[in-house]
């Protein structure tokens, strides 16, 4: 039985934490995440949510408290954005290194200075090496579904790694849309109680996290890497199970492909640019362009095989980054290119930087990106260099 509600992305993230039966939430407010913590505070205070809610005094402490709770067997949840995420960076490493399946909503917001509260991926993408699963949502429904599924994947004994579910600030977080929520009982069926991979227990005392010589450290990192590779296999399976059980969208598992099968040019992006891209593709197809869109949902573990598979038949890839790695290029661009490097066929790849600091990326902008890529493909001119979309000069 599905119930339809109309809510903003933030409130939906909070409701997902409730549905997932998170037991300890430790969080610190930051625009544009605040409604998540407020929703949870209300749910806990009213008794609707059976959880301990710790109003910590900083994001670094938020992740620390989540770690503490998780080590004694509690299912934990938190949320943050931008500078809050940056502030907890040290502890992101700790959570993954400690193999704790903490789930966190990241409401994507650009980094300052200058201060900005609007969306881009410059907060979460630089965290890509911390060992966290990263999933980028393009709709409020996907936020809810991804949070529930993340617990299933992360708590699997073969994974035991934390996950961040990313949603763009204001675009999703503050936009109300209808979504469908399954029955709590059915969710409980899908997501059983947390069984930790290890636990602090007075009956079986161990020290956890202490110093390890060069003789042992590498193996632990190898296991973490392996765990994310396992997650890569598990995520689409769990997504399929969820989608079939609840009759809800699948989003394609690791990548949401739209009209890619016979496309000459594929637009690759993440988040809501990916859903806007579908509209652009539809219009361009009507105009005769053989174009498709591939929205990468799961950025970590990076879906190498799926990207190669998706790109096989295409000639050119336009990769739209809502981020920039200064002194290099867009992060998604680097990762896609690296993934394609060993293929016998050399794709034309063009990097477009768009939407930084929340600058709007419209359907028409994406159509322009596609058309530009077609032109480059035809003429061979303009392959080099990064294109900054709508940059004022």
Partner 1 sequence: MVMLKELPKEELVLQGNASCAGCAASLALRLTLKVMGSKTIFVVPACCTSIIQGQFPSSSLNIPVLNIAFATTGATASGVVAGLRMRGIKDVTVIGWAGDGGTVDIGIQALSGAAERRTDFIYICYDNEAYGNTGMQRSGATPIGAWTTTTPTGKRENKKDMAFIMAAHRIPYIATAVPSYPADFIEKLEKAKKIKGTRYLHVLTPCPPGWRSDADLSIELGRLAVQTGMWVLFEMENGVFSISSPSRLALDKTKRKPVEEYLKLQGRFRHLTTEEVVQLQKAVDATLDYYTKLNGQRIFPQITD
The residues, ordered by sequence, that sit 6+ positions from 389 with a Cβ below 8 Å of its Cβ are: 320, 352, 353, 354, 355, 361, 365, 368, 369
- Nearest CA to 232 out of 255, 251, 254, 250 is that of 254
Residue of 5, 44, 200, 386 interacting with partner 1 (CB under 8 A): 200
CB of 1 or CB of 202, closer to partner 1: 202
Q: How far apart are the C-alpha atoms of 305 and 310, rounded to whole Å?
A: 9
What sign has the CA pseudo-torsion 31, 36, 40, 46? positive
Residue 105, phi then psi, degrees to nearest 5: -90, 130
Site for partner 1 in 71-90 (CB under 8 A): 71-74, 76, 90
Residue of 94, 246, 251, 302 interacting with partner 1 (CB under 8 A): 94
Q: How far apart are the C-alpha atoms of 142 and 345, rounded to whole Å?
A: 34
Span interacting with partner 1, options 152-160, 209-217, 225-233, 283-291, rule CB under 8 A:
209-217
Q: Is the separation of the CB atoms in 372 and 317 below 8 Å?
A: no
Q: Per the structure block, which two tokens stand in for 217?
A: 């450290």
Q: How far apart are the C-alpha atoms of 192 and 179, rounded to whole Å?
A: 23
Span interacting with partner 1, options 65-73, 105-113, 152-160, 264-272, rule CB under 8 A:
65-73
| Residue labelled with tokens 């299912």 | 75
Residue 56 is a binding residue for partner 1 (CB under 8 A): yes
Residue 60 is a binding residue for partner 1 (CB under 8 A): yes
Residue 32, phi then psi, degrees to nearest 5: -100, 35
Residue 58 is a binding residue for partner 1 (CB under 8 A): yes
CB of 95 or CB of 110, closer to partner 1: 95
Residue 69 is a binding residue for partner 1 (CB under 8 A): yes
Residue 91 is a binding residue for partner 1 (CB under 8 A): yes
Residue 57 is a binding residue for partner 1 (CB under 8 A): yes
Half-sphere exposure of 195 (CA within 13 A, CB side): 8
Residue 47 is a binding residue for partner 1 (CB under 8 A): no
Span interacting with partner 1, options 32-40, 174-182, 200-208, 231-239, rule CB under 8 A:
200-208
Q: Is the separation of the CB atoms in 59 and 30 below 8 Å?
A: yes
Helix (H) or strand (E) holding 277: helix 272-286
Residue 26 is a binding residue for partner 1 (CB under 8 A): yes
CB of 50 or CB of 176, closer to partner 1: 50
Residue of 4, 46, 207, 379 interacting with partner 1 (CB under 8 A): 207
Residue 130 is a binding residue for partner 1 (CB under 8 A): no
Q: How far apart are the C-alpha atoms of 3 and 107, rounded to whole Å?
A: 25
Residue of 183, 201, 241, 309 interacting with partner 1 (CB under 8 A): 201
Size of interface with partner 1, in residues (CB under 8 A):
43
Query: Least distance from C-beta 53 to partner 1, angstroms?
Result: 9
Residue 216 is a binding residue for partner 1 (CB under 8 A): yes
Residue 218 is a binding residue for partner 1 (CB under 8 A): no
Contacts with partner 1 by CB under 8 A lie at 23-24, 26, 50-52, 54-58, 60-62, 64-74, 76, 90-91, 94, 200-202, 204-213, 216
């Amino acid at each position: 039985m599905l119930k339809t509600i109309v809510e903003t992305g933030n409130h939906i993230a909070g409701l997902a934490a409730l549905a997932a039966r998170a037991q300890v939430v430790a969080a610190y407010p930051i625009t544009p995440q605040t409604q998540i913590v407020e929703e949870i505070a209300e749910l806990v205070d009213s008794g609707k949510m059976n959880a301990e809610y710790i109003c910590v005094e900083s994001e670094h402490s938020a992740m620390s408290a989540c770690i503490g709770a998780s080590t004694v067997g509690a299912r934990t949840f938190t949320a943050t954005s931008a500078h809050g995420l940056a502030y907890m960076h040290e502890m992101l490493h700790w959570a993954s290194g400690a193999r704790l399946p903490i789930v966190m909503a990241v409401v994507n917001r650009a980094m300052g200075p200058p201060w900005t509260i609007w969306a881009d991926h410059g907060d979460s993408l630089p965290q890509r090496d911390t060992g966290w699963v990263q999933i980028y949502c393009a709709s409020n429904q996907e936020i809810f579904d991804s949070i529930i599924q993340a617990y299933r994947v992360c708590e699997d004994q073969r994974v035991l790694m934390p996950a961040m579910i990313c949603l763009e600030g204001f675009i999703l977080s503050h936009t109300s849309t209808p979504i469908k929520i399954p029955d709590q009982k059915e969710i409980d069926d899908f997501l059983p109680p947390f069984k930790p991979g290890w636990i602090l227990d007075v009956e079986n005392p161990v020290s956890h996290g202490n110093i390890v010589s060069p003789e042992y450290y590498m193996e632990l990192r190898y296991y973490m890497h392996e765990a994310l590779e396992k997650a890569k296999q598990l995520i689409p399976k769990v997504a399929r199970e969820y989608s079939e059980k609840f009759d809800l969208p699948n989003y394609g598992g690791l990548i949401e492909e739209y009209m890619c099968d016979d496309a000459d040019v594929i637009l690759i992006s993440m988040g809501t640019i990916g859903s806007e891209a579908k509209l652009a593709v539809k219009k361009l197809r009507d105009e005769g362009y053989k174009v498709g869109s591939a929205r990468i949902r799961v950025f970590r573990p990076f879906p190498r095989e799926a990207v190669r598979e998706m790109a096989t038949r295409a000639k050119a890839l336009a990769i739209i980054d809502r981020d920039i790695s200064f002194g290099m290029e867009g992060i998604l661009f680097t990762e896609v290119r690296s993934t394609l490097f060993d293929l016998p066929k050399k794709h034309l790849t063009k990097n477009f930087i768009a939407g930084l600091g929340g600058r709007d990326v419209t359907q028409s902008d994406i159509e322009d990106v596609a058309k530009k890529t077609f032109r480059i493909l035809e003429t061979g001119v303009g392959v080099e260099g990064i294109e900054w979309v709508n940059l004022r000069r």
